[in-house]
Amino acid sequence: MSAKQLADQCEMSQPTVYRRVEWLQEYGLIEEQTQIETGGNDYSVFAATLSEFSLALAEGDFETEIERTEPPAFPGQDEQDTADRFTKMWENL
């Protein structure tokens, strides 16, 4: 989602979204990619790096379990990779 989409979805200002996104990035909970548009108005999109998080209270102790999404094994594997999209755009000129 873009920052604008997040702001609309969460009913908060874009500056607030950017502050929260920065915090989430610091802790590795989201990743940022650049969405390239043909008109030159590129923008960032954000995706969660977690697939599951659980928190349990057992015998007075908290137990947590985190499952992360798998990152691409190499640049260009993901068709959304910026360099890969640039190459495709250049080849189609």
Take residue 71 and report the two structure tokens written for it.
């990152």
Examine the pLDDT at 18 and tell me if it is beyond 60. Answer: yes
Domain ranges in the chain are 3-91
Give pLDDT tens digits for 65-86: 888 887 655 444 555 666 666 6
Q: What is the pTM of this model?
A: 0.57
Amino acid occupying residue 41: N
Give pLDDT tens digits for 20-57: 999 999 988 888 888 888 787 888 888 888 888 899 99
CATH number of the 3-91 domain: 1.10.10
**pLDDT attached to residue 23:** 92
Strand ranges, E, within the chain: 30-35, 43-48, 50-58, 61-68
The set of residues, in sequence order, having a beta carbon less than 8 Å from that of 17 and lying 6+ positions away, is: 3, 6, 7, 10
